[in-house]
Amino acid sequence: MDVRTAIATRRSERFYTEPAPDDQELTALLGQATSSPDHGRLRPWRWILLRGQDRAELGRCLAQEGDPGHRERTMDKMLRAPLLAVLVFAPGSGSRVPEWEQLAASCSMANSLMLLLHSHGYGSMWRTGQVTRSDGARVLLSLGPGERVLGAFFIGTADPSRRLPRRRAVDVAGKVSRFSLPEPATAAHGRSRAAGPEPALAPTPAPAPAREQRDSVRLLELLRGHMSTQLVAAAARLRIPDHLGAGARTAAELSERTGTSAPALRRYLRALEELGLVESTGPDEYRNTSMAELLRGEAGGLYGQALLAGGDYYQAWSELDHALRTGTSAFEHRHGTSLWDRFSGTSEVAAAFTRTMRFSTEQDLAEILGLYAFPDQGLVVDVGAGHGTLTAGLLEHSPRLHAIAFDQPAVIGHARRTVTERGFGDRCELVEGSFLDSVPKGADLYLLKSVVHDWNDADALRILRNCRAAMGDRSRLLLIERTTAGDPLLAAIRDMTMLVLFGGQDRTAAEYGTLLDRAGFAVRRSVIGTSGICLLEAAARP
């Protein structure tokens, strides 16, 4: 990406997701950004990086000093990006360069870093406000005498569902004038030498109503969402990232490999380049970006999601009106069967879905293991095990633990392959069945991850009661779900997805607690992680 494109297309977003640059990559980009200001050798600054739980600590610190009515919102703001980079201004007291010039050099470096992040596929937002004034933040971040915070940079990958429209070029003609020595004052024009130079450029015309223009751009972007979905899904269906591999190919080579029209594919590749999935390496030649790696057929974590989003899910969403009128699954209305029943008839759908669940669990696993004290030994049943990623993760975490991966016949093969490849076949039993009928008995811990939100209250209670019937007096149930807290738009879309696909719904932690109570459980512990994931431990009531 050239400098002009980077400047024209970069903008700050409100929310960012993984991935974010690791420390090594960020440091390398920072080394490049430092060369932009003339006083780059001074380096009157330092950076403090916060990830994971450290972001929440900063949020709590700011919340304690802020408006009591907005404490939760203040804490949530610090979790809107996977990486927070705090810029500390540390001017050199013995320098011949004035402090204001050192400050300008620091800001120039920071702005260059944001452009470099954008050119590498990352997003960033420079936030000032309370973090620059907080005494508590100074203590938490161990600032020295004379140092001050210039802002917190929120860094990650822009959430495509929340992206703001690109800015239009700004008319700055009225801010530019040409200097010329004034003519001596005469009676004819009545101006004196003190009147100063006249603007040499035409005044800026009155702009169109800004709000209407902004709203129309944003709405059109939303209405074009279906096009982006199919552009990405077609890349997965045609296996474009796999054909490109680790190298580069011409449009003609890709056309031959994919069986597509060469002229049409060239136009398509230009669209993928604008979406950030491929980048040009020469005349008519392209290679994968890091984002495209997620669409690789064998290793890409979002390959299955792309196939479903552009296929079965896409068709289901076209029946949203039905779901809104009836409160039932649009997927079933469109396809004449539930997604679960479709697994048994279409192996590709089952494989795509379990791949998506594997990617989701891989993203959550470290946080889950950090939030709950899983047993060192005993027997765990993973109810609705899917790909078996959670099962394998627990067996790796606790070498003396044994597990049962339980799921329907069309899916259990994926779990078997996972635990076998990971070397846990001797400690894991694979059991086929439906949790709507029963679950294996006699375990110490029963896991339900991302299961209950797929179902309406009646079916959710049926699943929970089946778990209760299988549990002993000392057994525990661990419910793992995402609640409706956190990013409000993401939570709303996820909730609507549950309605469209399953006729289910996302719930608050309290609502999950109510379901557990109705099913005969007593909640013993509830914890919500920094990402919004919620764990509720429950025991069967006598």
In the chain, where the domains are located: 3-158, 223-310, 342-540
pLDDT digits (tens, 9 = 90+) for 241-279: 999 998 999 999 999 999 999 999 999 999 999 999 999
The confidence band for 194, taking pLDDT boundaries of 50, 70 and 90, is very low
pLDDT digits (tens, 9 = 90+) for 431-473: 999 999 999 999 999 999 999 999 999 999 999 999 999 999 9
Q: 3-158 adopts what CATH topology?
A: NADH Oxidase (3.40.109)
Is a pLDDT exceeding 70 seen at residue 191? no
Instruction: Please give the order of strands across the beta sheet that includes 428-432.
Output: 428-432, 400-407, 377-383, 445-449, 476-482, 533-540, 521-528
pLDDT at 340: 81
Q: 223-310 adopts what CATH topology?
A: Arc Repressor Mutant, subunit A (1.10.10)
pLDDT at 478: 97
Specify whether the CB–CB gap between 30 and 46 falls below 8 A.
Answer: no
Is a pLDDT exceeding 70 seen at residue 201? no
Using CA atoms, how far apart are residues 424 and 392, in angstroms rounded to an integer? 7
Provide the 10 A C-beta neighbour count for residue 488. Answer: 11
Using CA atoms, how far apart are residues 142 and 151, in angstroms rounded to an integer? 15
Q: Is 189 a catalytic residue?
A: no
- pTM greater than the 0.95 cutoff: no
pLDDT digits (tens, 9 = 90+) for 389-401: 999 999 999 999 9
Mean pLDDT of 334-356: 78
The confidence band for 12, taking pLDDT boundaries of 50, 70 and 90, is confident
Mean pLDDT of 132-136: 89
Q: Which residues contact 186 (CB under 8 A, 6 or more apart)?
A: none
Residue 533's region, left for phi above 0, alpha for psi from -120 to 50, else beta, is beta
Is a pLDDT exceeding 50 seen at residue 83? yes
pLDDT digits (tens, 9 = 90+) for 308-318: 999 999 999 99
Looking up tokens 């764990």, which residue turns up?
Answer: 535
Is a pLDDT exceeding 60 seen at residue 125? yes
**Same fold flag, 3-158 and 342-540:** no
What is the average pLDDT score of the chain?
86
Q: CATH number of the domain at 342-540, out of 3.40.50.720, 3.40.50.150, 3.40.640.10, 2.160.10.10?
A: 3.40.50.150
Using CA atoms, how far apart are residues 486 and 533, in angstroms rounded to an integer? 10
